[in-house]
Amino acid sequence: MSQLNHNDLILFQGDSITDAGRSREQLSDMGKGYALMAAAQLAAQYPEIKLRFLNRGISGNRVKDLLSRWEKDCIELKPTWLSLMIGINDCWRRFDKNEPTSTEEFENGYRSLLTMTKKKTSAKIILCEPFALPHPEDRKKWREDLDPKIDAVRRLAREFGAYLVPFDGIFAQAACRVECDYWAGDGVHPSMAGHSLMAHHWLQCFKQAIKTQAS
């Protein structure tokens, strides 16, 4: 028996990868990416439960941006499940605008988000690794900044008893089958296939999580 209840709210939060072009005028719009794909499959699989879904990803966001809007865009929404993917812009801004975010600052800010969520909601939490593929060539340099941040997300998942979707490893594995730009043309923003890959693995994690909750 799955641990899902009538009108449960699943909230997707993050940056442009989660945003995926969602409408700001239609607050129920899920964008055009993995959040929409995952939500559509769950809605079809559990029609009698009438799950609710919201996407509050905002393109360009870093951890500090989430902190500034967390009360309004998470806490007040009272999610049953929170899916959070953040971190690639905390890395990217070091390389394109010389605005670095240290791993310590990233981890401390991320921990504040999770602490607030645990304190003020009863949401179950899914953390999604940020990722980058080695295409174009300059993305390879990013690993020195990104890898410690991915390790921080993993530590926080353990610390807060969250579920983890290891997207960085998933995309690395996928890139062994076909060239990187098939999955993400700039190494970061997924193609249609990339978003579908994300939705598939996110759903695997979510379904395992609800089984764990039910046991």
Catalytic residue among 68, 102, 151, 186: 186
What integer pLDDT is reported at residue 2 of this predicted model? 54
pTM over 0.85: yes
What integer pLDDT is reported at residue 114 of this predicted model? 98
Catalytic residue among 16, 83, 135, 201: 16
Catalytic residue among 29, 59, 65, 189: 189
Is 186 labeled as catalytic in the residue annotation?
Answer: yes
Q: Which are the contacts of 171, defined by CB distance < 8 A and separation ≥ 6? A: 131, 133, 183, 184, 194, 197
Compute the half-sphere exposure of residue 83: CA atoms within 13 Å on the CB side of its CA: 31
What integer pLDDT is reported at residue 214 of this predicted model? 78
Q: How far, in Å, CA of 42 to CA of 83, rounded? A: 14
The residues facing 82 across adjacent strands are: 11, 125
What integer pLDDT is reported at residue 1 of this predicted model? 36
- List the structure tokens of 159: 């610390």
Instruction: Find the length of the chain.
Output: 215
Give one word for 196, left, alpha or beta, with left for phi > 0 and alpha for psi -120 to 50.
alpha
The residues facing 152 across adjacent strands are: none
Q: Which are the contacts of 177, defined by CB distance < 8 A and separation ≥ 6? A: none
pLDDT (tens place) for every residue of the chain, 215 residues total: 358 999 999 999 999 999 999 999 999 999 999 999 999 999 999 999 999 999 999 999 999 999 999 999 999 999 999 999 999 999 999 999 999 999 999 999 999 999 999 999 999 999 999 999 999 999 999 999 999 999 999 999 999 999 999 999 999 999 999 999 999 999 999 999 999 999 999 999 999 999 998 77
Answer yes or no: are the C-beta atoms of 31 and 20 closer than 8 Å.
yes
